[in-house]
A and B are shown apart, each in its own frame.
Chain A
Amino acid sequence: MKEKILNILGELRQYAINKGISAAFFYHEEDSYLMRFANSAISLNTNEHLVRLEITTYDGRKRAEYQMITDLNQVEQMKAGIDTAAEMMKHTQPLSYDPTIPLYTETYADESSYDQALAQLSNEEKLAYFNQAAEGLETGEITLSGIFSSGTNITAQINTRSEHTQYFKSSDAQVNLVLSHGAQKWEILAEQSAQQKADLDPAAVHSELAFLSHVYTTTVPQQIPVGTYDIVLGSAAIGDLLDLMNWIGFSGGMMKRGFSFTTQEQVGKPVFSEKFTLVDDPTRRETFPYKRDVSGIERKPFPLFTRGVFDGYTWVQDDADEYGAQPTGHTVMHKSLVLHCGDQPVDSLEALVSMPREKDLLYIPYLHYMNIVNPSRGLITGSSRFGALLLKKDGSVAVPFNVRLTQSLLDIFGEKLQWLSSTEKIANTSMSYGARNPKAIVLPAFIRVNGLEISHSNSAF
């Protein structure tokens, strides 16, 4: 398959050269499977095999792009796409800067993130995983929802500047299981991310769900007062917060366009707590890493914040071209974010619950429907969901109805950050809008943030 793909890319390149067209080609192929559960049944079992090709043509400062969902038998259609992009380009207008066409100096292929056993997991194996992870936890009232999403992702690039190609192949799985109570409407969640089949561990998911389910079925949920709480965030919540930070925190282009809470003057200065160290680390296989970016730049660990100090912006090629910056190897479908762990020994929710505490702690595993209220201030809002707990200082545990948190990332990861757990977790933050793009963040299983305000508290689930 790899041969066929690269041969076709070579043929397209030659076609463009013969016509005197400068062009870059980005190939994306996905084989996607998703088994979806709802009301304790498989509500949908689906798969898609899609081939996408993006053709960008250049003429000095002019640029146009043609994208297609096609298949490998449609080479003539692809060639027609080159002609269309070249024709469009005549009618565009020049940019105010020179766009760079990457120069690949060697042919590069990376299939180290691909595990055939995971990619070709059978329907029966996925169903067996779910059955094991939920075993004994469903009742007439408590039903199972969730997804088992898995697949193969191939990306490849070539352009008219050289005959060299880049090729990347990865396998991934994103699993989540939700138990919900029909009448009481509570919901609890456990998630797992896998890059290879050996990462799948239904027993771990089962044990998380079983613990939460026990607490939720034996405790009467309550509305908690609004006000200030010391909050422990779980891995899914931390992952989504870092995903937002990736958007408005350290992207050079976003900063230049006014959508960032950091400024150029802050580079080299403390922005967050000194407990906060964030790296883009493509050596971590769990992040489905790209070891080269689309510009052909070799990707190495790239510090973003070191002990709270802002190390600098990431630049994708086009923003770097526009704003006169150096590209940093971040012209990729996703980064490989790793938030360093701390020294708090807490390796599971059970351990967190049984930890001695000097005051009440609000545990929020997940923040639903987060949005950016004010990018310049890093202000975000979202609501707790999926298994929050109020850990009382007397050692008892209460179940709170969902609450809303409207806070700045500068506060959450700033001076209020109390500790990070020494145990690591993987938060899979993939979405399936558009082309398959598996991504995950390596992070502490828990972080504690003191003195965050709850602005709204529900009176029911």
Chain B
Amino acid sequence: MINELKQQIERLRNAGATYVDARWYPLEESSDLTMWNGNLKNATASRESGVGVRVLYKGAWGFSASSDISQLAGLFDKAFDNARVAAERVTFPVRLAEKDAIQASFTSPNEIDPFTVELSEKVDFLKEMDSLMNQSGVVQRASGMTFMKKQIIFVDSEGSEIEKKIIEVFPAIQVMGVDAQGVTHTRKYQPGRIGATRGWETMDRKLFTDNAARIVKELNEVLVAEDCPRDTRSVILLPGIMFLQTHETIGHALELDRILGYELAYAGGSFVRLEDFGKLQYGSSKLTARADATLPNTPGSFGYDDDGIPAQNNLLIDKGLLVGAITGRQMVEEANAKARKPIFNGSGGANRATSFYRVPIERMTNINIDFGTDGTLDDIVKNTEKGVILDGEKSWSIGSNREQFHFATDIGWVVEDGEVKHVVKNATYRGETVKFYNSLTAVGDESTWEVQYVDNCGKGQPNQVMQLGHGVPVCRFDNVTIGE
């Protein structure tokens, strides 16, 4: 099969294509289990396989994909035809940044392949979690686990041949209750990186048992809590919401395709302009952010991206100053040309596709905030006069250029004069991105730093979902509008 792909690539090169690659997924498997109030509502397994072909011709992209690999030549021809038509409307001919031809492989770290574990064992795990959450105050309880396993073979016209084998595990538990006003509240637990590997071994009973008890307790506190006040005060974001804050207002804002206007028909643009690199004070000096695809064991570390570029650890924001972006081969060339200076030194290795039937686009790797020197969560609380600690993503809505945002969280704890006072419900906060990050006044130490996973980041047309990670500490921001 690989040889046939290479022959087809060679054939299109000879026919005038400037670049061709193929991603062959011999087998991608997934499995989904959902238990709702003790009912195993969903026990689904799935498989898919197929090939996606990308062709660059006269500066324009064509792509074609099919699950039927018996007609390879036809598939390559279709991709080429698509590129030929696209070449009729080109404004900035696509160029790809230089790269080395690579023959390599990558396997994500795991001890126990979850697909080797009996279904009954998985169901037993969910039953156990379900009964642990079946407590007073809880009217709805849900638990679920998703497993993915994919093999991807990448071949391109520049001589690269890369094989990737990736396993993902995404479990979650949640409880819901109704307060005296009839409003539903939720608390959930979704483990991120909890060890050196991410196979079935991460389904740690003790960890889930402890967290099930915690979320039940916190839900019951929320149910009798007063509303979050309408106020302006400090917010202390725990990793359970800081990851999403980072995702939405640093990650998406710094995708170079968004900055260059390639997502304007759907996901949106970015307030960041090319002239901002090296100049914009994105945040206070306490803010250092990076795109780190070398962090071991997260969905944002995948060895090689779908341009065939090796994983990198790149600074995005250095002590508050904007210095980098999330990049692939195409966009760095265009950005450097449009800026009339070299902002980016080659691809950042962040071009990824969700499946064989989608084209790679710039995607977050692990978009992390470096931990700081402001101590533990307790230390930060002690140094906060008037604030609210927030945790748990409930809703998120962001301006189309990522310039402003509104988040709601599952729980809040009011802080007054350096002490945690009481729980509040219906907590929300909003802000303007640059102003918000410049009000970052405390960054927790390593004890507060956690890697959270995102399994459903949506972007692109046709739409794609992607899995990635965020390593974030506890962060405090001052003068934030809450309760709206």
Contact = CB atoms under 8 A, between A and B. Distances in A.
B74 to A, nearest CB: 10
A39 B82 contact: no
B403 A458 contact: yes
B64 A369 contact: no
A455 B483 CA distance: 11
A127 B82 contact: no
Interface residues of B, number: 82
Contacts of A92: 40, 43, 119, 123
Given A40-B89, A67-B45, A381-B395, A45 B60 contact: yes
A65 B400 contact: no
Given A38-B265, A257-B140, A456-B404, A406 B484 contact: yes
Contact of B183 (A51, A85, A374, A461): A374
Contact of B265 (A50, A89, A145, A375): A145
Given A45-B62, A404-B406, A404-B430, A145 B184 contact: no
B81 interface: yes
Contacts of A51: 67-68
Contacts of A123: 81-82, 85
Nearest to B395: A371
B225 interface: no
A68 B86 contact: no
A374 B408 contact: yes
A164 interface: no
A88 B119 contact: yes
A423 interface: no
A438 interface: no
Contacts of A455: 406, 430, 484
B399 A41 contact: no
A68 B61 contact: no
Contact of A373 (B184, B394, B399): B394
A88 B43 contact: yes
Contacts of B38: 96
B261 interface: yes
Q: Is the interface of B mostly helix, strand, loop or mixed?
A: mixed
Nearest to B176: A258
Given A66-B46, A143-B261, A373-B394, A45 B357 contact: no
A377 interface: yes
A81 B49 CA distance: 14
Contacts of B123: 91-93
A258 B88 contact: no
Interface string B128-141: 00000000000110
A383 B68 contact: no
Interface stretch (A69-77, A155-163, A296-304, A345-353): A69-77
A172 to B, nearest CB: 14
Interface residues of A, number: 87
Interface stretch (B206-214, B216-224, B340-348, B457-465): B457-465
Contacts of A41: 60, 86, 89-92
Interface in B32-57: 36, 38-50
A369 B400 contact: yes
Contact of B261 (A32, A81, A95, A145): A145
B268 interface: yes
Which of A39, A70, A322, A461 counts the most B-chain CB atoms under 10 A from its CB?
A: A39
Given A91-B120, A406-B484, A433-B463, A383 B82 contact: no
B336 to A, nearest CB: 16
Given A48-B65, A322-B39, A460 B403 contact: yes
A373 to B, nearest CB: 5
Given A37-B265, A372-B395, A431-B463, A45 B260 contact: no
Residue from A46, A68, A123, A257 whose CB has the most chain B CB atoms within 10 Å: A46
A93 B70 CA distance: 39
Contacts of A47: 63-65, 78, 82
B462 A432 contact: yes
Contact of B400 (A34, A38, A127, A385): A385
A34 B43 CA distance: 33
Interface string B248-265: 000000000000111111
Interface string A384-410: 010000000000000000101010000
B39 A95 contact: yes
B403 A65 contact: no
A180 interface: yes
A307 interface: no
B216 to A, nearest CB: 16
Contact of B357 (A50, A89, A97, A385): A50
B441 interface: no
B462 A32 contact: yes
A404 B41 CA distance: 37
Contacts of B285: none
Nearest to A375: B184
A2 interface: no
B261 A180 contact: yes
Contacts of A127: 85, 88-89
A176 interface: yes
Contacts of B269: 180, 185, 187
A69 B49 contact: yes
A34 B462 contact: yes
Given A147-B265, A372-B395, A433-B458, A42 B89 contact: yes
Nearest to A87: B119
Contact of A433 (B46, B63, B428, B465): B465
Nearest to B431: A456
A382 interface: yes
Contacts of B430: 404, 455-456
6 contacts: A37-B89, A38-B263, A46-B359, A69-B50, A95-B41, A376-B178
The 3 A-B residue pairs with the shortest CB-CB distance in the complex, in nearest-first order: A69-B48, A71-B68, A258-B184
Given A39-B262, A44-B86, A369-B397, 12 more contacts: A34-B461, A42-B90, A69-B49, A73-B70, A178-B265, A258-B140, A258-B178, A369-B268, A376-B183, A381-B397, A402-B399, A406-B406
Interface of A: 32, 34-51, 63-71, 73, 81, 84-85, 88-89, 91-93, 95-97, 123-124, 127, 130-131, 143, 145-147, 149, 176, 178, 180, 182, 185, 187, 257-259, 263, 318, 322, 368-377, 381-383, 385, 402, 404, 406, 431-433, 455-456, 458, 460-461
